[in-house]
Amino acid sequence: MIAKQTLAKQIRHAAKRYGTPYALARDSGVNSAVVGRFLKGERDVTLTTAAKLCEALGLELRPKRRLARKG
């Protein structure tokens, strides 16, 4: 079984390997205070901010494929 991870956990995990929160803020264009609080788990971010962080981290943010409905 594959453990499910939230988007926030995936971003935080990738950010640990990226470098400093300041570098991530600089490279993503997100305010450094927002990045710092998010990485500490003190606040959530909007989807727009998550997309900026993902782009800087080299992650792909895309929707899950939907299964066709029966009937």
Whether 69 shows a pLDDT value over 80: the answer reads no
Cβ contact 28:22 at 8 Å: no
Cβ contact 24:18 at 8 Å: yes
Cβ contact 61:51 at 8 Å: yes
Cα Dmax for the chain = 51
SS3 41: coil
Q: What number is the average pLDDT over the span 56-60?
A: 95
Q: Which two tokens stand for residue 17?
A: 């390997």
Distance in angstroms (rounded) separating the CA atoms of residues 45 and 17: 20
For 6-41, how does the pLDDT look when each residue is reduced to its tens digit (9 = 90+)?
Answer: 899 999 999 999 999 999 999 999 999 999 999 999
